[in-house]
Amino acid sequence: MTQPPPPGYGYPQQPPQWASVPPPGKQSNGWKIATFVLGGLFFVSCTANVVNSSDNRDEKPDAKPKVTQSVDVKPRAAAPTSKLAENPRPKATEQPPVTITAAKAPFKKTVLHKNDDYTSIKVTVTNNTDERISVNPLYFEVKDADGVKHSTEIFGGETDLHAVDLYKGEKASGTITIKGKVDAVKVYYRKDGFGTSYSAPVK
């Protein structure tokens, strides 16, 4: 004869009420590390976007250029020039190649003259060139007060100028004679008899 099963047979056994519930297992730290890494990547991405946005604004072609203010600089007033600069000394007059002077002189006849109906003029000729020049009484002419020119006599007075060659700095003096009593006002000398003519008033 079989005995009846004890109470509760065939049902899952329940832990006794007094048994303590086991503590939950400790959770892994892996998710914390993953969260930290993702947050760091997000921060770096945001920072790069901000920098790129700032650079794009700086590179915009329609950005207004900086305005620089110009300052007008007045030129300095010129320094006053000295009186010497305002009134420079006149340049010395260039000396002519040949210088002559003329003055009235008494006629002194020779044995070749029958009377004293002649006019003599004392002249001085100076050579200022480096060239040799020839002086002869026949190279002269005399102009009177009426503007008429007179040729000199071949046989002049006793004090007439002799034919001579002059070198630089040399001079020759003597009289030239024209026929008649003439009011001489100007004397002309032609260099070498055919070159440039030089003149001087009769004093």
Sheet order of strands, 118-127 included: 98-105, 118-127, 171-179
Residue numbers of the domain that contains 132: 98-201
Q: Tell me the average pLDDT across 94-100.
A: 89
Tokens 């590179």 correspond to: 59
- Report the percent of the chain where pLDDT is more than 70: 54
> Looking at residues 121-136, what average pLDDT do you find?
94
Give domain status of residue 176, yes or no.
yes
Q: Which residue do the tokens 């060659």 mark?
A: 165
Fill in the amino acid letter for 32: K
pLDDT at 146: 93
Q: Is 174 part of any domain?
A: yes
Q: Is residue 93 part of a domain?
A: no
Residue 182 lies in a domain: yes
Q: pLDDT at position 164, please?
A: 93
The model's pTM: 0.53
- In CATH, what number is assigned to the domain containing residue 126? 2.60.40
Q: Minimal CA–CA distance to 187: which of 95, 118, 103, 126?
A: 103
In tens, the pLDDT along 164-181 reads 999 999 999 999 999 999
The pLDDT confidence band at residue 94, using thresholds 50, 70 and 90, is confident
Question: Quick one: pLDDT at residue 115?
Answer: 87
Question: Mind listing the pLDDT tens digit for each residue in 52-90?
Answer: 555 555 554 454 555 555 555 555 666 555 555 556 565
Domains of the chain: total? 1
67 in a domain, yes or no?
A: no
139: left (phi over 0), alpha (psi -120 to 50) or beta: alpha
CA nearest 106: which of 181, 164, 171, 173?
181
Of residues 137 and 18, more confidence is placed in 137
